[in-house]
Amino acid sequence: MTDQQRQVNKWVVALTVMLPTLIEIIDTSIVNVSLDHIRGSLSAGINEATWAISSYLLSNAIVIPMSGWLARLLGRKRYQIGSIVLFTVSSFLCGSAWSLKSLIFFRVLQGLAGGGLVPVSQAILLEAFPRREHGMAMAIFGIGTMFGPILGPLLGGIITDNWSWRWIFYINLPIGALAIFLSVLFIHDPPYMKRRSMGIDYTGFALLAVGLGSLQYVLDTGQRSDWFGSGTIVGFTVLSVAALGFLIINEKYHEHPILQLSLFRDASFTSGSVIIFFVFLNLFGSIVILPIFLQTLMGYTSYQAGLVLGPGGIAALLAMPIVGKLVTLVNPKKILAAGILICSATTWSMSLFNLQTDFWTFVWPRVTLGIGMGCIFIPLTTLTLSHIPREMMGEATSLFNMIRNLGGSFGIAISTTMAARRAQFHQARLVEHLTPFDPSYVFSRARISEALASGTGQGIPPEGVIYRELVRQANLLGFNDAFFIIAVSLLAVLLLVFLMRTPPEEGAAMAKSGG
Question: Is 353 or 74 the better-scoring residue by pLDDT?
Answer: 353
Single residue among 222, 238, 255 that ends a domain in this structure: 255
Q: Is residue 481 part of a domain?
A: no
| Residue 57 near residue 220 (C-beta atoms within 8 A) | yes
| Residue 248 near residue 345 (C-beta atoms within 8 A) | no
Q: What's the chain's average pLDDT?
A: 79
Q: Is residue 289 part of a domain?
A: yes
Mean pLDDT, residues 433-445 taken together = 68
Q: Phi, psi at residue 397, to the nearest 5°? A: -65, -30
| pLDDT at position 353 over 80 | yes
Residue 439 banded pLDDT, cuts 50, 70, 90: confident
In angstroms, rounded to a whole number, what is the distance separating the alpha carbons of residues 185 and 13? 10
Say what the pLDDT of residue 48 is: 63
Question: Is 433 or 272 the better-scoring residue by pLDDT?
Answer: 272
Q: Encode 262-285: b = buried (16+ Cβ within 10 Å), e = exposed.
A: ebeebebbbbbbebbbbbbbbbbb
In angstroms, rounded to a whole number, what is the distance separating the alpha carbons of residues 398 and 512? 35
Say what the pLDDT of residue 192 is: 60
In angstroms, rounded to a whole number, what is the distance separating the alpha carbons of residues 234 and 224? 14
Is 157 in the same domain as 46? yes
Distances (CA, A) of 464 to 182, 330, 386: 62, 59, 61
Residue 135 half-sphere exposure toward CB, CA atoms < 13 A: 28
Is 297 in the same domain as 403? yes
Is 212 in the same domain as 319? no
Q: Domains in the chain: how many in total? A: 4
Say what the pLDDT of residue 511 is: 37
Is 298 in the same domain as 211? no
pTM of the model: 0.77
| Residue 295 near residue 301 (C-beta atoms within 8 A) | yes
Which of 395, 397, 390 is closest to 2 using CA atoms? 390
Q: Is residue 225 part of a domain?
A: yes
| Residue 452 near residue 458 (C-beta atoms within 8 A) | yes
Please write the tens of the pLDDT for every residue from 102-138. Answer: 888 888 888 888 887 877 877 777 777 776 666 667 6
Is 291 in the same domain as 330? yes
Is 444 in the same domain as 312? no
Q: Give me the numbers of helices (H) and strands (E) for the chain, helices first please.
A: 22, 0
Is 439 in the same domain as 409? no
Single residue among 199, 216, 236 that ends a domain in this structure: 199
Is 315 in the same domain as 366? yes
Q: Is residue 346 part of a domain?
A: yes
- Show Cβ contacts of residue 382 under 8 Å, excluding neighbours closer than 6 positions: 134, 135, 138, 327, 332, 503
User: DSSP letters along 312-350, please?
Assistant: HHHHHHHHHHHHHHHTTTS-HHHHHHHHHHHHHHHHHHH
Positions of E strands within 19-128: none
In angstroms, rounded to a whole number, what is the distance separating the alpha carbons of residues 310 and 296? 19
In angstroms, rounded to a whole number, what is the distance separating the alpha carbons of residues 515 and 497? 15
Say what the pLDDT of residue 197 is: 57
In angstroms, rounded to a whole number, what is the distance separating the alpha carbons of residues 373 and 126? 20
Least confident of 99-113, 136-150, 302-316, 488-502: 136-150
Residue 267 half-sphere exposure toward CB, CA atoms < 13 A: 8
Please write the tens of the pLDDT for every residue from 286-314. Answer: 877 888 888 788 888 766 777 787 787 77
Is 175 in the same domain as 76? yes
Is 268 in the same domain as 246? no
| Residue 455 near residue 441 (C-beta atoms within 8 A) | no
| Residue 256 near residue 201 (C-beta atoms within 8 A) | yes
Q: Phi, psi at residue 29, to the nearest 5°? A: -130, -10
Is 308 in the same domain as 281? yes
Mean pLDDT, residues 23-30 taken together = 75
Mean pLDDT, residues 489-511 taken together = 73
Q: Is residue 238 part of a domain?
A: yes
Is 331 in the same domain as 429? no
Q: How far apart are the first and last CA of the chain?
A: 32
Q: CB under 8 Å, gap of 24 or more: what pairs does 428-432 form?
A: 430/470, 430/473, 430/474, 431/470
| pLDDT at position 186 over 90 | no
Helices (H), 432-461: 439-454
Q: Which CATH number fits the domain that encloses residue 285?
A: 1.20.1250.20
Range of the domain at 391: 263-417+486-515
Single residue among 199, 219, 238 that ends a domain in this structure: 199
